[in-house]
Structure formats: C-alpha cells, structure tokens
Amino acid sequence: RLARQTSALPPPASRVVEEVVSTDAALATPIAEEMAADPVWYTPSYWFPADIWEGSVELGINGSTGNSESFSMKAGGKAKRKTEFSILEMDIAYVKTNTNSVLTQHNAIMNGKVEWPFADSPWSMFAKLYGEYDEFQAYDVRLAFNAGFGYRWFETDISKLTTRLGAGWSREFGGPQDQFVPEAVMGLDYERQISKRQKFSLTSDYFPDWGDFSNYRIVTSASWQLLLDEEHNLSLKVGAIDRYDSTPNGAKPNDVNYSIVLLWEL
C-alpha cells in the first residue's frame, strides 16, 4: 500500500524544469530559424539583402606638421544592386585639403546610374545622373542627366567592356552660364581582373554640346586595387579622376584628383 502511494507522488521539481526548458527550446528553434530566414525591418539585411546588394567604403589621409602644416582627406563609397531586370550603381567621392590653415582643395563628385538589360541580348537602356561640387570652380554645383542605350561587347570572369550612347543636359548652378545645356554622351566602362588579388577599372564619358561640338566635357576615372586581407575584404586602391572642361570660365580646364586609400568591401 505504501508503494502504491509513493508511485502516485508528482515527479521531482528538477525533472519538471528540464521538461519545460526542453519544450521552450524546441519552440524557440523554429522561431529563430524563421527570423534568420526573414530578417526584420530594422536590420540592414532587410533593406540590403546580400544576394542582390554589394558595396564598399574607402578612406585615405595625408598630412605634415612642423615648418608647414597640411592635411588632406579622401573619402568615398560605392553601392550596387543587381537583379534580373535592372542594375543600380551609385558612388560618391569627397576630397578636402588644407595647407597652412588655407583651404586648397574641396570638392565632391556623385554618380548614379540605372541600367535595364534586354533579355538574351548585349543591348541595354540606361539613365545616369552626375553631380559635382567644387569650391574652386566658377559655379556652385554642376548637375547632368542623360539617358540612352548601352552595348556589352564582352563579359567574362576576367574582363568586361560596355559602351553607351545617349543624350541629356547639364547645368552649372550659381555660375556665369546658369542655364540648361543640351548634351550628347558617349562613354565606356572597362574592368579587368588582372589576378586573384589585382583588379583594374576604367570609366570615361564624353559630353559634347549639341549646339557647338567645340564645347565639351570629359570625365574619366581609373583605379587599381590590390587585395591585402582576403578574410576582411580589405584592399589598397590607387585611383585618379580627371575632369576636363573646354569652357572653364577663367579657371584651368583640367582638374585631376589622385589618391591612395584603403578600401573595405562590405
């Protein structure tokens, strides 16, 4: 009779706790898996999923002190979103230099481009926006917009070449020629993976004035990257941006920004 009463007693408290913990863990596992599969709105992966987005940031500084004081900074970033129907690319570069407490260089350049590739064809459509601020130019801000068609000559794991042809306009706000200027655009993009750790890139655009082809602009950027740390996607980048304007309004027609920076791919 005593044995029967003992068997009727409730299980020990430790056993009950173990069962509750194991049940909670079993319920939490699918919830965690669901959250990992579907990121919530306040996480970066919700807005920038890694399967379609890629980007990088770069920073370089240079300075001296003693008989002369100087400080120069170059910062920038890139972002790219690629889907089956479109390719969005954005980049920005900012440069500022002080020498003996005097500002000697201060400019920013922004590019944004959307490309719509045609299915099973090397052809595509594009729209491109260009913005430029330079404290040492005759204008405050220059904006340019153009659209047209692009053609992909080749694309392999090693190299890629694309050209484009279109039309648009530009305007120099706050300058002596503060008006819309119709322009044509002819450009190219070239990339080559020199080796596992080295890459070369070149982009150039030619903007002639529709009303007078002797008035034109050329914007060219080139860079060479060397992968330093594969685990952390850290590279050394040597680059240059050349801006030529045949109508500089009293300033020099050619401006070249060159830099050596550290680049981190996200």
254-265 pLDDT, tens digit per residue, is: 989 899 999 999
Residue 245 exposed, middle or buried by CB count within 10 Å (0-12, 13-18, 19+): buried
Q: What pLDDT is stored for residue 43 in this prediction?
A: 73
- Domains located in the chain, CATH noted: 52-265 (2.40.160.40)
- 87 Rama class: left (phi>0) / alpha (psi -120 to 50) / beta: beta
Q: What is the pLDDT of residues 45-97, one digit of tens each?
A: 776 777 889 999 999 998 887 777 889 999 999 999 999 999 999 999 999 99
Q: What pLDDT is stored for residue 12 in this prediction?
A: 58
Residues in the chain where the model's pLDDT stays below 70: 1-37, 42, 44, 47
Q: What pLDDT is stored for residue 56 in this prediction?
A: 95
Structure tokens at 37: 């599969």
Q: What pLDDT is stored for residue 142 in this prediction?
A: 95
Can you give the pTM of this predicted structure?
0.79
Residues 148/126, Cβ–Cβ less than 8 Å:
yes
Q: What pLDDT is stored for residue 2 in this prediction?
A: 44
